[in-house]
């Protein structure tokens, strides 16, 4: 059980960092707005991506392994895609409300997109998250699981513990900076 939790924490941190990189690449190279730290904490991670990745794993991994067919055509990937879109959109909506409650605003605004709700969620980003989630579920996560499965119990503990210390220190600095300064 301990090793499973350590693996899930490593997954969380890995995907939080990948999410931060994705956000920065969009800002700098696609939208050309320039660099800004896209995370709420100091370090290079967007926590919502880590939470979203864990939600995909926990909610959709068993579904992905099922063989759902209509006649001879497998529709499992289509159902997984729709599940990813639903989970990602729900996470983004909930995340925007949590961020607004805790910081007074949220870090994205989708008002420029058609089919948006209060600028918090929109069809276009939801579909992009669905595509990214499919790459995550079918390509990246299986490779990352092979990597973490090869780590010894000691290495797993050291890696997850180190990452936990870094994240905890960052969170403490964030709280001190926002509550006391």
pLDDT mean over 150-170? 94
Residue 176 covered by a domain: no
What mean pLDDT, rounded, does the chain reach? 89
Residue 97 covered by a domain: yes
Residue 179 covered by a domain: no
Residue 177 covered by a domain: no
- Residue 87's domain comprises 2-169
Residue 17 covered by a domain: yes
Q: What is the torsion angle, in degrees rounded to the nearest 10, for the CA atoms of residue 12, residue 18, residue 20 and residue 21? A: 170
Query: How far are the Cα atoms of 16, 25, 142 from residue 47, in angstroms, in the given order?
Result: 5, 17, 21
What SS3 class is residue 40? coil
pLDDT mean over 152-180? 90
Residue 175 covered by a domain: no
Residue 148 covered by a domain: yes
Most confident listed range (23-32, 94-103, 117-126): 117-126
| Structural domain count of the chain | 1
How far is residue 161's CA from residue 163's CA, in Å, rounded to a whole number? 5
């Amino acid at each position: 059980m301990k090793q499973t939790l350590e693996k899930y924490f490593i997954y969380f941190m890995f995907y939080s960092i990948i999410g931060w990189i994705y956000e920065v690449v969009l800002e700098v190279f696609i939208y050309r707005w320039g660099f800004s730290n896209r995370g709420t904490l100091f370090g290079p991670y967007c926590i919502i991506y880590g939470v979203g990745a864990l939600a995909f794993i926990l909610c959709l991994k068993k579904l992905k392994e099922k063989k759902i067919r209509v006649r001879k055509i497998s529709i499992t990937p289509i159902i997984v895609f729709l599940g990813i879109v639903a989970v990602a959109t729900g996470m983004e909506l909930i995340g925007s409300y949590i961020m607004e409650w805790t910081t007074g605003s949220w870090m994205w605004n989708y008002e420029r997109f058609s089919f948006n709700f209060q600028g918090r969620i929109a069809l276009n980003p939801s579909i992009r998250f669905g595509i990214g989630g499919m790459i995550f579920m079918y390509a990246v996560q299986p490779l990352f699981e092979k990597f973490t499965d090869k780590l010894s119990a000691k290495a797993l503990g050291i890696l997850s513990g180190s990452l936990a210390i870094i994240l905890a220190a960052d969170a403490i600095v964030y709280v001190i900076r926002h509550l006391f300064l």
